[in-house]
Amino acid sequence: MDRLTSMAVFTKVVATGSFSKAGRELGLSPAGVSNHIRALEEWLGAQLIHRTTRRLSLTEAGEALHERCARILEEVEGAEAATGALQEAPRGRLKISAPITFGMRHLAPVIADYLLAYPGVAVDVALNDRKVDLLEEGFDVAVRIGELPDSSLAARRVATSRSVLCASPAYVERHGAPGEPAELERHECLEYAYRATPGQWRFSGPDGEEVSVRIRGRLTSTNGELLRVAALRGLGISVAPTFIVGEDLVAGRLVPLMPRYAPAELGVHAVYPQGRHLPAKVRSFIDFLVSHFGQEPAWDAWARGGAAAPAHAARAGRAGRAGRQKERRR
């Protein structure tokens, strides 16, 4: 048998933990998979896998071989990619992970356009606000928003999204608009559960200094769209990314607050497993994202409108002062 193919079968068995699953992914029967493993064991003169009815485990020889096989196969794949990169058209199945709201609002049309542009690629999309394990779960690329933790993954910034402190005009009319971060402690705040600093919001002040404040509120969620709906209904103040609330700011359904204090910008990144040669389907998709979103994404149109944001902020400030005056009269 071809030893390189047998190595590939062996690494797939280790990755899936099953002869039958490896066979299904490779288009082989369980007997075919067994034949490849047996051929390797006969060639090396050592048992590679302990196999029981419940699970598979590697022998010491199997562990040593698996480490080397992974490097050999990566080198072979890299050589193939390097020699065929100039003429290779993207093809195969591309597995993508993305956050739910961003995926529905902004990624869906990009993926549709990508499929039209690259008929040789099939796409599987999983929308989930948790951070998936790309290697463990077999994803080719993930769209992630916010700070990236240190990891073995490679990343490319594809866009930027501002964050904005905002509330509905009705909320501001009832409760007033905070002028300083410390005033947020007296307000109902809508909290995103996956924030890096739970229960705390951070801002960049007028002189560039970092200001943090503890916040409270009755609603916490892992999904930004749910918090947007709550803000529109006047349930509280939100620090929201503009890719979620940009249209609401333009329409005046939400108004920006505390214009002198800015929440941190959010980076929109494509992350993918490191490798010397990026598969054409992954490279082309990331390039497609960058070209689509560009330097100034559409969701920040409210800020480019110039007078729109200050006007909303001024109305919020007037409503806030009026609200506080009503409280004093009572």
Q: Do residues 212 and 200 lie in contact, with contact meaning Cβ atoms separated by under 8 Å?
A: yes
pTM over 0.85: no
The sign of the torsion formed by the CA atoms of 126, 194, 101, 146 equals negative
Of all helices (H) and strands (E), which one includes residue 327?
A: helix 308-329
- pLDDT reading at 162 higher than 70: yes
Degrees (nearest 5) of the Cα angle 322, 325, 329? 140
**Domain housing 156:** 92-161+267-299
Could you give the number of structural domains in the chain? 3
Question: Can you give the pLDDT at residue 317?
Answer: 42
Q: Do residues 251 and 130 lie in contact, with contact meaning Cβ atoms separated by under 8 Å?
A: no
The residue assigned the tokens 């049309």 is 109
DSSP three-state, residue 244: helix
- pLDDT reading at 171 higher than 90: yes
Q: What is the DSSP string of 134-182?
A: HHHHT-SEEEEESPPPS-SEEEEEEEEE-EEEEE-HHHHHHH---SSGG
Degrees (nearest 5) of the Cα angle 85, 90, 95? 125
Question: Can you give the pLDDT at residue 79?
Answer: 63
Of the candidates 52, 84, 116, which is a domain's last residue? 84
| Residues 232 and 313 grouped into a single domain | yes
**Mean of per-residue pLDDT scores for the chain:** 83
| Residues 13 and 78 grouped into a single domain | yes
Question: Can you give the pLDDT at residue 80?
Answer: 63
pLDDT in tens, 282-328: 999 999 999 988 777 878 776 665 433 433 344 444 444 444 443 33
| Residues 76 and 220 grouped into a single domain | no
Question: What is the Cα–Cα distance from 92 to 126, expressed in whole angstroms?
Answer: 17
Token digits of residue 66? 């698996």
Q: In angstroms, what is the C-alpha Rg of the chain?
A: 26
The residue assigned the tokens 């705390």 is 200
Phi, psi values for residue 226, rounded to 5°: -65, -40
Token digits of residue 173? 């009319």
| Residues 305 and 186 grouped into a single domain | yes
| Residues 308 and 216 grouped into a single domain | yes
Question: Can you give the pLDDT at residue 53?
Answer: 64
| Residues 182 and 109 grouped into a single domain | no
